[in-house]
Structure 1
């Protein structure tokens, strides 16, 4: 079982990573090229966050698992948007 404080801390970190990635996606659309290095770093952080979610889901309670699955779906949707550039 994942401790509540660790869960909340990780969820907050992942949400910050997602906000940064959304910012990079918006900037990339605005400037067409954006900052390629920052964009790539944001994508890598999303992938690392996704792997962390997978680890947490494996040891989470049913209630926690539901919250983590929803977050993971949002994260994966953002990853897809970044790949497609939409």
Structure 2
């Protein structure tokens, strides 16, 4: 079973990933091909965080799983937006 502290730390990591990816997405919308490396790194970070989330959710209780599910939806939404951006 995942501890409350480990889930909270992971949620913080997810929020950091989302902040970074949102920044890269906004920059990419404005600058187009200027920041390809950072944009790609942000996409990779989302994918890694998503995979870690799926592993962690397997050992969580129902309340923790619900928190992680909401975070998963945010990650997937941003990942889709970044994929669809004509960058």
TM tier relative to shorter chain: over 0.9
SS at the partner of 1:30?
helix
Number of aligned positions between the proteins = 86
Displacement, 1:81? 0.3
2:36 is matched with 36
5+ unaligned residues in a row in structure 2: which ranges? Answer: none
What is the TM-score of this pair, normalised by structure 2? 0.95
RMSD (Å) for aligned C-alpha atoms:
1.0
Give the ranges of 4+ consecutive aligned residues of structure 1 lying more than 2 Å apart after TM superposition: none
User: RCO (CA 8 Å, sep 6+): is it higher in 1 or 2?
Assistant: 2
5+ unaligned residues in a row in structure 1: which ranges? Answer: none
Displacement, 1:14? 1.1
2:71 is matched with 71
Displacement, 1:34? 3.2
Q: Give, in whole Å, the separation in 1 of the partners of 2:24 and 2:69.
A: 24
SS at the partner of 2:33?
coil
